[in-house]
Amino acid sequence: MESPAGPATVSTLKEARLFADAGVRDIIYAVGITPDKLPTVLAMRAQGVDLAVILDSVEQARFVAEASRAAGLAIPALIEIDSDGHRAGAAPSDAERLLAIGAALTEGAELRGVLTHAGGSYGVRGEAALRAFAEQERRAVVDAATVLREAGFPCPVVSVGSTPTAHAAQTLDGVTEVRAGVFVFSDLVIAGIGTQAIDDIAISVLASVIGHQRDKGWILVDAGWMAMSRDRGTKAQAVDQGYGLVCDAAGNPYDDLIVIDANQEHGIIAVRPGSNAVLPELPVGARVRILPNHACATGAQHDRYHVVRGTGDVIEAEWPRFGGW
């Protein structure tokens, strides 16, 4: 994002509206489109926002084209490509499907290009495997774009996006944009993959010690799953970080200290099972910082970010955040 005008990728139409209110004009709504959302899309486009949608079926292309014709305003759409079997999208090798979608869009809408999200990259480990996955992602959209272009369809945008592949890609030949979200903050899942380090994680939850269960080796804090989220994304990784990795107030991780369990408002801190680390002496009222498994899920539990510089504790700014659709 090189200027306040964009480009930006959003997950909800509420995000699109608020980004547009802030001056962003180049936006992709990167969740498969449904008919009920098209009036909002058209209204924003009529206000000068270049809002594009994504789809992966002829059915969707037809109702987008129909709405475009009725409004006299072409809605740009990107065809979602399945680059890894992780989620939605058309296979890059399915030329019949790609061309049918392209043809349906020409009946009033606009084919803007192709887009993929290599969500499967979050399950990959090792530098070589990540590089291969990034190339698989790139190849999928470039091949799909080639199919469309050779049939005479325009394909100006070739879009990839996942944080692991954004770090691992060796070449982006044929790609016009990279969308990487958690890239901004990083989190324990990304650190577990190995594309960023623990020290790169820029988001944490500040919690206070509220009690002890010394016979169990527990420290209780006032940050349960309502503060951290229920995300257990590191459970399948080589190092299970529980509900979060515990640091001192300056953000320095304690040795093998994690949130092993979480109730609604109570977090249970203990030494990682199997470790010989020693539980630190933390009196009631002591502050700890907890690094999250999933920055997006933890951020969504809060209404703002308090911004500090490095290991400092002076709040230099407050960034309000929002949720909803």
pLDDT tens string 242-260: 999 999 999 999 999 999 9
Q: Looking at per-residue confidence, does 166 or 227 come out higher?
A: 227
What is the tally of structural domains in the chain?
A: 2
Is residue 1 assigned to a domain?
no
On whether the CB atoms of residues 45 and 17 are closer than 8 A, the answer is no
Residues 208 and 300 in one domain: yes
Assess if residue 141 is contained within a domain.
yes
221 and 116 within one domain: no
Binned at pLDDT 50, 70 and 90, residue 41 comes out as very high
Closest to 73 in 3D by CA, of 55, 33, 46? 46
Amino acid at 182: V
The answer on 213 and 109 residing in a single domain is: no
- The CATH number covering residue 315 comes to 2.40.37.20
pLDDT tens-digit map of 216-244: 999 999 999 999 999 999 999 999 999 99
Are 86 and 151 within one domain? yes
Q: What is the pLDDT of residue 7?
A: 92
Question: Whole domain around residue 262: which residue ranges?
Answer: 198-320
Give a yes or no: residue 158 inside a domain.
yes
Mean pLDDT of the residues in the chain: 95
Q: Which of 180, 215, 236 is the last residue of a domain?
A: 180
Q: Are residues 137 and 214 in the same domain?
A: no
The closest alpha carbon to 223, from 198, 202, 242, belongs to 242
The reported pTM is 0.91
Band (pLDDT 50/70/90 cuts) for residue 133 is: very high
Three-point CA angle 177, 178, 183, nearest 5°: 155
Pick from 217, 277, 272: nearest CA to 244? 272
Question: DSSP state, 55?
Answer: E
Looking at the domain assignment, is residue 191 inside a domain? Answer: no
Residue 157 lies in a domain: yes
Whether residue 192 lies inside any domain: the answer is no
Tokens of 300: 């969504």
- Could you tell me how many residues make up the chain? 325
Q: Look at the block and give the residue holding tokens 């009725």.
A: 70
Report residue 25's pLDDT band, with 50, 70 and 90 as the boundaries: very high
User: How many Cα atoms within 13 Å fall on the side-chain side of residue 297?
Assistant: 17
Query: Is residue 190 domain-resident?
Result: no
- Looking at the fold, whether 31 and 158 belong to one and the same domain comes out as yes
Q: In the predicted model, what is the mean pLDDT of residues 300-313?
A: 93
What is the distance of C-alpha 177 from the center of its chain? 16
